[in-house]
Amino acid sequence: MKTLFAACGVVVATLAILPGVRAATEPAPRTPTWDSLRQYQCPEWFRDAKFGIYAHWSVFSAARGSGATDWYGRNMYKPGHPNNTEHLKNYGPLSKFGYKDLIPLFTAEKFNADEWAELYVEAGARFAGPVGEHADGFSMWASKVNPWNAAVMGPKRDVVSELEKAIRKRGLKFMVSLHHQWLWGWYPTWDKTTDAGDPRYASFYGEAYPATAQGRPLPNGGFDNMYADPLPSAKFQATWLAKVNEVVDGYSPDLLWFDNRMQLLSESVRQEMAAHYYNHALARHQEPVLCYKRPDLPLGTGTSDLERARMPDIYPEPWLTDTSISRSSWAYATDLEYYSPDRIVDDLVDIVSKNGCMLLNIAPAPDGTIPEEQKTILRSIGKWLKLNGEAIYGSRPWLIFGEGPTITPVGHLSDLQFKGFTAQDIRFTTQGEQLYAIALGWPSDGKLLIKSLGSARYSTPIRGIRLIGHDAALPWKQSVDGLEVQLPAKPSGDYAYAFKIDR
């Protein structure tokens, strides 16, 4: 996902209004062609939602020890990798205890979908859902295509179904993320010293994948994030599509999210997937959002997603950042390194100011509980949104996204290197004619200077300034240098202070 831009939406064809004939609008059915799929326009619910939550929770969550991530199932087979070393120590040889043998340990005995959904509401999320299937090939729904699924193994529950009911019951939009194109070459099926190379388990670990191609050795068995040799087989692609269709037909997600690496699949399979999803939503009168990472789908066929990254400026179409509550992992581990609520809220404000939305990942424990540290962070975000939500939900970008000395890095995973904002960084949003300036820190001198609203740059008269959460109007003066606001003695919160600029 090195290319950052994409468009978003759902096609709506407006029928001609004839004399004496009732006006009507009817979304046009999709055909599996890029031209048909490009007629997509982003639904207003997504433009307004701004904040969603999902959870990386599957078999990898049951791996013991530190340093476990959603890539545990792959890394445990790599000699010398810390996951491999720890797995051998904890479980023994890979020929005897492979990834499949972790499934019984993924019991989810304390999983309560209603408790999760209530927490999402407390956090201020407007859409939420599970990872439906990660790269490991374990489906979290009652699949007829894949015998390795949570309804008959591990939890022995249809997790997607339970969350769908709980989330929709609370008025949130429901989403499912899918990563299963990564399964092609994920496990070392060529290595007969491991259970992944045993043909008895091919239905889980995948088709035999060569360690060499055309007589030459391949690094990682020909596996790479954006490369595979050979490319996925017709059988693999048919199963991939059947899994997507099961999720679409069975759970009707409002938002269907794909990790990258779909570009390895044939264009016809990707076209069929998107057309089926849109047409299913059309039949149910839904307004669907299809999220993807470039270059997996062409511009204009869905909503662009950036992994742990963001746009450098306002992008004309809505977009999404997927990020995690932890810097160190997407999945549960005993040594998770958490971001602070301050950092997450600042990132949300920056993303929203640039016409984006944030999808925040959490990492539940294998028993189905959400660790207390994560609950505290989510509730802190929700507390901030409850106070300042008018500057976020339903907002639209202003003329510029903001000002300040901090330049956010761009590119895949660039947020991992980002150190955060300063008190001089300000972001703008609007609600109709109302302008908001959100300061990402509290100036130590008690004065906020908004340079973009100085008299030499901004001619619209300003009538007053209020700090959300503070009762009285604030003294201010406008000069060539900027709009200087005298701050109250105490801030109205702990971070990201939203000011209403009345014009």
Residue boundaries of the structural domains of the chain = 13-58+106-184+232-391, 402-502
- Structure tokens given for 227: 């490369």
- Structure tokens given for 371: 């660790």
Contact 346, 406 (CB under 8 A): no
pLDDT for 30 beyond 80: yes
| Higher pLDDT pick, 364 / 16 | 364
Contact 340, 380 (CB under 8 A): no
- Structure tokens given for 277: 């999803």
Q: CA nearest 467: which of 440, 491, 433, 483?
A: 491
Q: Kindly tell me the sign of the dihedral angle through the C-alpha atoms of 450, 451, 455, 459.
A: negative
Q: Which of these ranges, 61-65, 211-215, 247-251, 335-339, has the smallest mean pLDDT?
A: 211-215
AA identity, residue 89 = K
| Residue ranges of E strands in 94-203 | 127-133, 173-178
The pLDDT tens digits for 472-487 are 999 999 999 999 999 9
The pLDDT tens digits for 179-230 are 999 999 999 998 999 999 999 999 999 998 776 554 445 555 557 777 788 8
Contacts of 79 (CB under 8 A, 6+ apart): none
The pLDDT tens digits for 261-300 are 999 999 999 999 999 999 999 999 999 999 999 999 999 9
pLDDT for 16 beyond 60: no
> Which fold, 402-502?
Immunoglobulin-like (2.60.40)
Distances (CA, A) of 249 to 277, 297, 410, 470: 8, 21, 36, 49
Buried b / exposed e along 107-132 (16+ C-beta atoms within 10 A): ebeebebeebbebbbbbbbbbbbbbb
> Which fold, 13-58+106-184+232-391?
TIM Barrel (3.20.20)
> Percentage of the chain with pLDDT > 70?
92
The pLDDT tens digits for 396-431 are 999 999 999 999 999 999 999 999 999 999 999 999
Kindly report the CA angle at 45 between 396 and 276, in degrees rounded to 5? Answer: 130
